[in-house]
């Protein structure tokens, strides 16, 4: 990148006495930046590393406090499922994230297609509405929904959580899909129609495969947003406890080792999936 600059710069640098020192200094600068990046990576990873480490802690009591020795005992299936509340919380989280993903991908993709493919009256205000939904503070989203539920005496539970999660995820899906649709060549769909495909066939055989990557990444985004959500869930859950809510509830007591184990398993699973996904994508790109 700097080769052109370097060659052009060389005579000038040689002429001034501080030329070489400048070079040494940049090398030191690079090294410091490199070290600094690693320090921040370690800082970001510190709580994760501690969480994993203490999932192997041989605690005698209910909670993790200090290091007592290495053990695998918390990974035994009977210990893993011993805490029914925690297992149930994880189940709720997965169920809610799954349903949210499916519904918000369908609704969000339709919005994304409409915004990317057509020009229509009211489009600008709809974009603004979506931007507002994305950028509004989560606490306001949760609080306003709760206000409405309270007004109509709607009982809080899984359905109200789902309503809220789909609401905040679908805008993100729509943005991702719209970006993809905007890059598509309308001539391809026209060609399909010229060849006698019905609108439905055109959509299923031509449009869908082309926006498929956006549906996948939008769906992943919705899943992650939903499963990790605390604030909006806190307001709309009523008595239902999801995984983040359960952890929040233990905050003043201390962390039981099962939480570390669950966290470690989810972390490992997620990382493996991401790596496999990256490898597959790279293979496909090479073909």
Site for other proteins in 195-234 (CB under 8 A): 196, 198-199, 202, 224, 227-228, 230-231, 234
What sections of the chain are H helices per DSSP?
A: 3-15, 19-53, 77-80, 84-117, 123-135, 138-151, 158-183, 186-194, 199-202, 208-227, 231-236, 243-249, 257-286
Q: Are 140 and 236 in contact (CB under 8 A)?
A: no
Residue 137 Cβ, how far from other proteins at the closest point, in Å?
Answer: 4
70 binds other proteins (CB under 8 A): no
Residue 116 Cβ, how far from other proteins at the closest point, in Å?
Answer: 10
List 218, 256, 257, 263, residue binding other proteins (CB under 8 A):
263
First-to-last alpha carbon distance for the chain, in angstroms, is: 28
Q: Which is nearer to other proteins, 75 or 184 (CB)?
A: 184
Helix 19-53 crosses helix 257-286 at what angle (to 10 degrees)? 130
Q: Are 97 and 162 in contact (CB under 8 A)?
A: no
Number of residues that bind other proteins (CB under 8 A): 102
267 binds other proteins (CB under 8 A): yes
Q: What is the largest CA-CA distance in the chain?
A: 81
Q: Which is nearer to other proteins, 44 or 287 (CB)?
A: 44
Site for other proteins in 174-193 (CB under 8 A): 174-175, 179, 186, 193
Residue 91 Cβ, how far from other proteins at the closest point, in Å?
Answer: 15
Please state, in angstroms and rounded to a whole number, the distance separating the CA atoms of residues 124 and 277.
36
**Candidate ranges 71-79, 80-88, 124-132, 209-217; the one touching other proteins (CB under 8 A):** 124-132
In the numeric block, which tokens belong to residue 158?
């899984």
8 binds other proteins (CB under 8 A): yes
**Candidate ranges 77-85, 94-102, 125-133, 213-221; the one touching other proteins (CB under 8 A):** 125-133
Residue 27 Cβ, how far from other proteins at the closest point, in Å?
Answer: 11
Residue with tokens 């899943």: 223
164 binds other proteins (CB under 8 A): yes
Please state, in angstroms and rounded to a whole number, the distance separating the CA atoms of residues 82 and 77.
8
Residue 4 Cβ, how far from other proteins at the closest point, in Å?
Answer: 5
Measure Cα distances from 256 to 82, 119, 210 in Å: 12, 55, 46
Q: Are 86 and 262 in contact (CB under 8 A)?
A: yes
Residue 111 Cβ, how far from other proteins at the closest point, in Å?
Answer: 4
41 binds other proteins (CB under 8 A): yes
**Candidate ranges 73-81, 94-102, 105-113, 209-217; the one touching other proteins (CB under 8 A):** 105-113
43 binds other proteins (CB under 8 A): yes
């Amino acid at each position: 990148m700097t080769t052109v600059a370097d060659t052009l710069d060389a005579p000038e640098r040689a002429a001034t006495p501080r030329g070489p020192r400048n070079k040494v200094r940049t090398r030191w600068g690079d090294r410091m930046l490199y070290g600094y990046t690693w320090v921040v990576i370690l800082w970001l990873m510190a709580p994760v590393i501690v969480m994993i480490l203490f999932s192997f802690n041989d605690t005698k009591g209910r909670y993790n406090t200090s290091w007592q020795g290495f053990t695998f005992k918390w990974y035994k299936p009977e210990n893993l499922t011993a805490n029914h509340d925690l297992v149930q919380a994880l189940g709720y989280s997965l169920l809610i994230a799954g349903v949210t993903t499916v519904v918000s991908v369908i609704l969000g993709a339709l919005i994304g297609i409409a915004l990317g493919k057509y020009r229509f009256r009211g489009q600008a205000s709809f974009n603004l509405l979506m931007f507002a939904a994305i950028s509004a503070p989560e606490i306001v989203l949760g609080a306003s929904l709760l206000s409405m539920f309270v007004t109509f005496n709607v009982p809080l539970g899984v359905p109200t959580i789902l309503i809220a999660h789909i609401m905040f995820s679908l805008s993100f899906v729509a943005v991702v899909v719209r970006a993809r649709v905007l890059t598509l060549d309308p001539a391809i769909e026209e060609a399909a129609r010229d060849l006698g495909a019905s609108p439905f066939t055109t959509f299923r055989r031509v449009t869908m495969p082309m926006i498929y990557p956006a549906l996948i990444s939008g769906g992943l985004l919705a899943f992650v947003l939903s499963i990790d959500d605390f604030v909006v869930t806190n307001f709309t859950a009523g008595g239902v406890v999801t995984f983040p809510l359960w952890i929040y509830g233990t905050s003043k007591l201390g962390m039981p080792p099962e939480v570390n184990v669950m966290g470690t398993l989810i972390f490992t699973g997620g990382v493996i999936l991401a790596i496999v996904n990256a490898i597959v994508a790279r293979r496909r790109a090479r073909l």
